[in-house]
Amino acid sequence: MKVKPIILCLLIAGSFSASAQQTANSMLFNAHVGGLLPQTKTVELTDGSLPGGTLQTGYDFGLSLQFLHSERISTRWGYTWTYQDVEFGGVSSTGKSALTSYHRNSSVISGQALIHVANGIGKTWYLIAGVVAQQRKTEAKAGSWLVNGHLINDTMNKTGAQLGTGVSFNFGKWRLSPEVIYQQVGKEGSILARVNVGR
C-alpha cells in the first residue's frame, strides 16, 4: 500500500507550511520617511584641498525588513536614500564671491538591533543601535559656482554608526513608529527624525 508515503508527504508539507507561517509572523515590512538635521559643520570630501562647506537640512526615505527574534529583541535591515544641500564659498564666472549650493545624495545600507524596553497598551518603546555603509555624492547643480577653481563632483564611501529610540503604535496589523536617531558617518554627524509605517 502507498498510504505511508502519502502520510509522510503530508507531514513534510505540513512542516514546511508551519515553518513558512512562523517566518511570516516573525518578519515585518517597513517603509519610512523623515528629515535630516546636520549636527556638524564639517563637509567631508575625498579632496582635502577643497574648502569646508556647511551641510543643510535634508530628507530621507527608505525600506526595511524587521525580524523578531524574541519579545525583547529584533533586527532590521534596510536601504535609505537621502537628499540635502551643501553650501560652499564659491566664485562666479565674473569673479564675484558668495555662498553657492551643491547637491548631496546618499545611499545607505543599514543593520540595526532594536531592544524593546517597555510595553503599554497598543505601544512599545524601544532603543536602536546600528551600523551603516554609506555612499555619498556631492555634485554641482544648475547655477552652482566654482569652488577652489572648479565644480565639485565628489563620491565617497564611508561606514558609521547609529544610536536612537522610537515608539511603535499598533493599529491592528499596521504599526506607526516615530523615531529619533543620531548617525555618525566619518566626520559628519546628523540627527534623523523618521516615521516608520509597517505591518
From residue 145, alpha-carbon distances to 32, 111, 154, 170 in Å are 34, 38, 15, 49
Q: Is the pLDDT of residue 28 over 80?
A: yes
Q: Which residue has the cell 549636527?
A: 39
Q: Is the pLDDT of residue 10 over 50?
A: no
Q: Is the pLDDT of residue 22 over 70?
A: no
Weakest-pLDDT range from 4-18, 124-138, 168-182: 4-18
For the CA atoms of 169, 172, 174, 179, the dihedral, rounded to the nearest 10 degrees, stands at 0
pLDDT: which is higher, 39 or 106: 106
> Looking at residue 91, what is its pLDDT?
84
Cβ atoms 57, 84 nearer than 8 A: yes
pLDDT: which is higher, 93 or 77: 77
Q: Is the pLDDT of residue 190 over 90?
A: yes
Separation of alpha carbons 168 and 147, rounded Å = 45
Q: Which residue has the cell 555624492?
A: 137
As assigned by CATH, the class of the 28-198 domain is mainly beta
> Looking at residue 39, what is its pLDDT?
87
Side chain identity, residue 61? F
H helical segments located in 1-157: 3-25
53 phi/psi in degrees, rounded to 5:
-120, -170
Cβ atoms 111, 134 nearer than 8 A: no
* Beta carbons within 8 Å of 119's beta carbon, 6+ residues apart: 125
Question: Mean of the pLDDT values across residues 4-11?
Answer: 52
Separation of alpha carbons 187 and 165, rounded Å = 22
Cell numbers found for residue 43: 563637509
> Looking at residue 15, what is its pLDDT?
43
Strand 188-198 and strand 73-91: pairing?
unpaired
Q: Is the pLDDT of residue 16 over 70?
A: no
Cell numbers found for residue 41: 559643520
- Give the percent of the chain with pLDDT over 90: 56
Side chain identity, residue 103? H
